[in-house]
């Protein structure tokens, strides 16, 4: 933790660029522009409509520029929004439903694992501003969540019990889910959302929509504090599923990437206190 680093020259945080007419006119994810994307693989709700036509709430299409063998885009809303912070809980339930249904489709085709993630803002890696997530189909479990499962017992269960006991980093507890700022936060306002009871699969959990809603609430509160900021969110499967939310208020440089030392300018206790308001 290095709070003094926040006042160094050039330490200002990245932020969203203002919305432009060009962004609105060129966005391929807005309703009515279904012909600008690959054919949909899923649309919710499952109503009677012509495929690749208006009338959807959440839509899934193949990624036109995949980095992996199979990769899909989940468009979170038919209207142009930039962040899940702008979506209601009901909308996020549809997103969670789409994630779960596409996991089943992936397994039917021999892909045992799916990595779900979202990037918001250019500094967060988003190439298109319209709120969306990525589903990466994988035949093997990714190395980071695989490493979390090593050892005896459940480290996440033990960790959540410790955080609830200490309390200083807990932001919100709601409907069987816990939102907190991890004690080893890598960046200011990093958040973790996890079910209190042990569950191995987020894709198949009835709490996934609520977890996305808690992450969205954290972003709304963060936007109220410092304005809209780039962010990354991903789902860790296996062991004890959880969401990790990493606002990109700082840039990871050589010491973080090369040495593994993450220099954070805001204590997680202070971040949690600010987000509680």
* 201/74 Cα distance (integer angstroms): 19
Q: Is the pLDDT of residue 141 over 80?
A: yes
Q: Of 76-85, 142-151, 217-226, 252-261, which range is least confident?
A: 142-151
Beta bridge partners, 170, equal 180
pLDDT tens digits along 76-128? 999 999 999 999 999 999 999 999 999 999 999 999 999 999 999 988 999 99
Instruction: Find the CATH number of the domain harbouring 15.
Output: 3.30.428.10
Higher pLDDT, 151 or 183: 183
Q: Which domain holds residue 246?
A: 3-276
Mean pLDDT in residue range 56-84 = 97
Which residues are bridge partners to 119 per DSSP?
232
Q: Summarize pLDDT for 155-178 with one digit per residue, the tens.
A: 899 999 999 999 999 999 999 999
Residues 6+ apart with CB under 8 A from 5: 11, 263, 265
Q: State both tokens at 191.
A: 């958040």
pTM of the full structure: 0.93
Question: How many domains would you assign to the chain?
Answer: 1
Is residue 10 scored above 60 in pLDDT?
no
pLDDT mean across residues, the chain: 93
pLDDT band, very low/low/confident/very high, at 75 (cuts 50, 70, 90): very high
> What does the alpha-carbon distance between residue 63 and residue 37 come to, in Å, rounded to a whole number?
9
Residue 2 has pLDDT above 90, yes or no: no
For residue 13, the model assigns a pLDDT of 63
CA angle 43, 49, 55 (to 5 degrees): 65
Residue 4: pLDDT band with limits 50, 70, 90: low
**Percentage of the chain lying above the pLDDT 90 cut:** 81
Residue percentage of the chain with pLDDT more than 70: 95
According to the model, what pLDDT value does residue 12 have?
Answer: 59
């Amino acid at each position: 933790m290095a709070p003094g680093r926040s006042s160094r020259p050039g330490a200002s945080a990245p932020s969203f660029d203002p919305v432009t007419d060009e962004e609105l006119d060129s966005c391929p994810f807005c309703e009515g522009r279904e012909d600008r994307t690959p054919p949909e693989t899923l649309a919710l709700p499952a109503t009677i409509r012509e495929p690749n036509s208006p009338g959807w709430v959440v839509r899934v299409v193949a990624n036109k520029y995949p980095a992996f063998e199979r990769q899909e885009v989940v468009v979170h809303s038919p209207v142009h929004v930039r962040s899940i912070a702008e979506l209601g809980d009901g909308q996020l339930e549809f997103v969670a439903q789409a994630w779960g249904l596409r996991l089943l489709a992936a397994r039917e085709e021999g892909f045992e694992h799916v990595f779900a993630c979202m990037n918001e803002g250019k500094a967060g890696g988003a190439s298109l501003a319209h709120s969306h997530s990525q589903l990466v189909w994988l035949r093997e479990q990714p190395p980071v969540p695989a490493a979390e499962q090593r050892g005896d017992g459940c480290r996440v269960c033990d960790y959540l019990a410790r955080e609830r006991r200490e309390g200083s980093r807990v932001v919100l507890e709601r409907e069987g889910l816990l939102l907190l700022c991890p004690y080893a936060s890598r960046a200011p306002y990093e958040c973790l959302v996890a079910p209190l009871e042990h569950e191995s699969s987020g894709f198949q959990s009835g709490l996934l929509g609520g977890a996305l809603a808690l992450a969205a609430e954290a972003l709304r509160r963060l936007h109220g504090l410092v304005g809209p900021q780039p962010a990354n969110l991903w789902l860790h499967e296996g062991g004890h599923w959880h969401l990790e939310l990493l606002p990109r208020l700082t840039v990871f440089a050589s010491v973080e990437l090369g040495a593994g030392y993450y220099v954070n300018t805001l204590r997680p206790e202070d971040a949690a206190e600010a987000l509680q308001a």
